[in-house]
Amino acid sequence: MTIRNLDFFGLLFVFLASILGIGTYYYLRNRRRELYPYGKWEELLKRLAPLDHQNLERIAEDPAVQPDQDIHWVDTMSPEDIWQLLGGMRGIDVMEKNCSVLVDLVFYVQQWYPEALLIAEQLRLNAREVEWHIGRLKATAKSGRPPADAAQYLQQAVAIYYHMTREVLALYEQANLPGLADLQRAL
């Protein structure tokens, strides 16, 4: 064999090995997606970013959002208070990202608990509504006005998000699924 033939066979081997490696990678990735279409449990929990749950509850239970409930600790909250309790724009971004994770968590449950379909669809609609409110908040911020000018959007988004978290926790509790404690800590 000549050196040209050795070079040719060496390059051919490297090329075929590369093609085989790439094909194996995509096959395994596709198979994992088929087994876990919404991700693994640990990955879903890692995607949840923490928000102060007590502050969310205070905002969501404000009489301006829930006028039919008796609130004994506060009359109403000012827009600046709401903005500060949420954590400003960072809190809004976290809340927006967590909405999609909450929907994925319910779809994850649906694999074993088919009754979760209705809750998943409702959460998907709620997530879209939260995204709409957050879009209005971001548009207000880009226009140079203070975010307090869009307080009704902020308060509604927080109230919907808070109730989404309650629904997800209730679903996990109702289905008696493992990982409820982890989910409570993550939320």
Q: How confident is the model at residue 146 (pLDDT cuts 50, 70, 90)?
A: low
Lowest-pLDDT range, 25-29, 47-51, 67-71, 98-102?
67-71
Count of structural domains within the chain: 2
Q: Where are the alpha helices (DSSP H) in the chain?
A: 3-35, 41-47, 53-60, 79-86, 88-110, 116-142, 151-174, 180-186
Question: Which are the contacts of 74, defined by CB distance < 8 A and separation ≥ 6?
Answer: 58, 62, 63
Question: Which are the contacts of 181, defined by CB distance < 8 A and separation ≥ 6?
Answer: none
54 and 14 assigned to the same domain: no
Higher per-residue confidence, 30 vs 24:
24
Q: How far is CA 92 from CA 20, 56, 83, 95, in A?
A: 45, 11, 9, 5
Checking if the pLDDT of 14 tops 80, the result is yes
pLDDT of amino acid 155:
84
Q: How confident is the model at residue 126 (pLDDT cuts 50, 70, 90)?
A: very high
71 and 101 assigned to the same domain: yes
45 and 31 assigned to the same domain: no
Checking if the pLDDT of 8 tops 90, the result is no
pLDDT of amino acid 148:
61
69 and 9 assigned to the same domain: no
In terms of residue numbers, what domain contains 164?
Answer: 41-186
26 and 62 assigned to the same domain: no
90 and 4 assigned to the same domain: no
Predicted structure pTM score: 0.72
45 and 116 assigned to the same domain: yes
54 and 136 assigned to the same domain: yes
27 and 70 assigned to the same domain: no
101 and 82 assigned to the same domain: yes
Q: How many residues make up the chain in this entry?
A: 187
Output the furthest CA–CA distance in the chain (Å, rounded).
Answer: 92
pLDDT of amino acid 30:
79
Burial of 163 (0-12, 13-18, 19+ CB in 10 A): middle
pLDDT of amino acid 163:
92
C-alpha distance across the termini of the chain, in Å: 67
Mean of the pLDDT values across residues 83-103? Answer: 88
Mean of the pLDDT values across residues 158-176? Answer: 90
Question: Which are the contacts of 19, defined by CB distance < 8 A and separation ≥ 6?
Answer: none
19 and 50 assigned to the same domain: no
Q: How confident is the model at residue 156 (pLDDT cuts 50, 70, 90)?
A: confident
Lowest-pLDDT range, 29-38, 41-50, 130-139, 163-172?
29-38
56 and 135 assigned to the same domain: yes
